[in-house]
């Protein structure tokens, strides 16, 4: 059954009002790779636009909270946790951004985690594009989720 379509085949927001609130958590991640110079400037904190990694963390958190404004059929959620981590890979000149989102509610937080990762990585791109326009954002995916009727998922 396609839950985002009504009986006439029209797009709709799913009615979750009868679902019991449960604890839900999701983890998503993605990666951005770049040239050695851009990577070094970000690590040293001397990129032309400032502290790239702190801005990326803030952007990711902000994006998670605004997911329902960006994804048309997403429910607005009260997020009880948004945790962002960035791991530098000096060999491949890349950063992996991970986001964990959590709530207690009738619907999951996967889209919030994925949106956070996407916007966090785009922020890195925006702040470093003067140093490397050839950066690659790759492998944005859901790592795991828990809660709700469908239970656990691990990629």
Query: Catalytic positions, please?
Result: 126
| DSSP category for residue 11 | B
Residue 91: what are its φ and ψ, rounded to 5°?
A: -70, -45
Residues near 151 by beta carbon (within 8 Å), at least 6 away in sequence: none
129: its two tokens: 């594009």
- 3-class state of residue 97 by DSSP: strand
């Amino acid at each position: 059954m396609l839950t985002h379509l009504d009986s006439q085949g029209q797009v709709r927001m799913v009615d979750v009002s009868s679902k019991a609130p449960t604890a839900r958590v999701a983890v998503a991640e993605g990666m951005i790779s770049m040239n050695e110079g851009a990577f070094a400037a970000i690590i040293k904190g001397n990129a032309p636009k400032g502290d790239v990694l702190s801005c990326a963390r803030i952007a990711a958190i902000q994006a998670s909270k605004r997911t329902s404004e960006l994804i048309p059929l997403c429910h607005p959620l009260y997020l009880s946790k948004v945790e962002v981590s960035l791991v530098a890979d000096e060999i491949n000149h890349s950063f992996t951004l991970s986001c964990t989102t959590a709530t207690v509610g009738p619907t999951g937080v996967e889209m919030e985690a994925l949106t956070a990762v996407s916007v966090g990585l785009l922020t890195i791109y925006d702040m470093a594009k003067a140093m490397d326009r050839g950066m690659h954002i790759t492998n944005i995916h859901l790592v795991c989720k828990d809660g709700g009727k469908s239970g656990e998922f691990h990629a």
